[in-house]
Structure 1
Amino acid sequence: MQREGKVQTVCADSVGKERVANHTAGSAARSPLFLERFEMNPDIQLRHEVFAQLNWDPAVFGCDVDVRVTDGVVTLRGQLASEDLKNAVERAVRRAEGVKRIVNQLTTAECANND
């Protein structure tokens, strides 16, 4: 339940002058100024979605994976215990909406032992 009342929003325009807008409580979140100012970068949103998938999947929960996203391309880095775990991480990342491509640079302890 939202409380009714006035909320004052102050935004600086491109020349540094402040504009003041009065909104009722709750409407600030829907105003164009608010949305324009706080819209999240799509790559950051995708990175959050990838981490959500990794945290949701019990097969890979707690794995130490470095995730980087550039223009929808997800790069995975880190060392995992097995090839099965590496494949499970990639499957989890594929479930994230907006992934254009996956660059899997994950290594496994099995590979390190074979060298």
Structure 2
Amino acid sequence: QALLTQQERKLCNPSGFWKGHVSAVTRVLEWGGIDELDRRNKNDNTAFHFATSSGYVDVMEEMYARKGQALLTQQERKLCNPSGFWKGHVSAVTRVLEWGGIDELDRRNKNDNTAFH
């Protein structure tokens, strides 16, 4: 538990720690690191945002198993922004849509583009 709170909680930052290593994610969550799913990096993205935009479906599933629908509605629905999420990761897109993220198809990025642009 002390490892999860050291260095101003920088142990499990979204852009560094959660790079597709599902066993590491599982272990941190088991050790009480569920709050790490809410942490944001300098771009205001969470570990779940990073996993979806990188196509890490196993990691997404582990996070979803722990936090559920809350992952789909956090940060003003900035779950799967078109400029980051839709990089050809069909399995990741499919999983988010199965979990109820159908509204993501209508989301627009800062350039007013949807996932289909």
> How high is the TM-score relative to the length of structure 1?
0.26
Higher share of residues assigned helix: 2
Give the TM-score normalised by the residue count of structure 2. 0.26
Point out the structure with max Rg over C-alpha.
1
